[in-house]
Structure 1
């Protein structure tokens, strides 16, 4: 694996664990696609730093379990905004 890819992968992992952010938020911060972030932290990171990969996996699992709540809140906000402006 190329050095810059390994460095990016570790930085992504550290960022996700530190900020407890989503794949989408990390992709936006690093200026790369969500699929690249996902591949980096689920496949590549496991080969580089297993302990960090497990920590990232915990954050991603927590995000997955909360996904329906965030989606519901976003929908509620959307319709509240439409009601106020329309």
Structure 2
């Protein structure tokens, strides 16, 4: 794997863990696609640092469990602003 990809993967993983952020926000912050972020922190990170991947996986699972709540809040805000 190319060195700059490994650096990006580790940077993404640390950002997601430190900020407890979603894949979408990490993608926006780093200027890359959500698909790339997801592939980096699920597939590539496993080869680079499996321990760090477990920490990221916990955050991603929390986000997945809470996404329906965030979606509902966004919809509520959308209709309240009309």
SS of the equivalent of 1:41 reads helix
| Runs of 4+ residues over 4 Å off in structure 1 | none
Distance in 2 separating the partners of 1:71 and 1:33? 20
What TM-score do the two structures reach when normalised by structure 1? Answer: 0.95
Match of 1:67 in 2: 67
SS in 2 for 1:76: helix
In 2, Cα distance between equivalents of 1:52 and 1:13: 7
Structure 1 position 48, deviation (Å):
0.3
Query: How far has the Cα of 1:41 moved from its partner?
Result: 0.1
TM-score, length-normalised on structure 2?
0.99
Measured after TM superposition, the shift of residue 65 of structure 1 is 0.1
Partner residue in 2 for 1:4: 4
- Structure 1 position 42, deviation (Å): 0.3
* Root-mean-square deviation (Å): 0.3
State the partner residue of 1:20: 20
Number of aligned residue pairs: 82
Q: What are the ranges of 5 or more consecutive residues in structure 1 without an aligned counterpart?
A: none
Distance 1:4 1:45 in 2: 13
Secondary structure of the structure 2 residue equivalent to 1:36: helix
* Runs of 5+ consecutive residues of structure 2 not aligned to the other structure: none
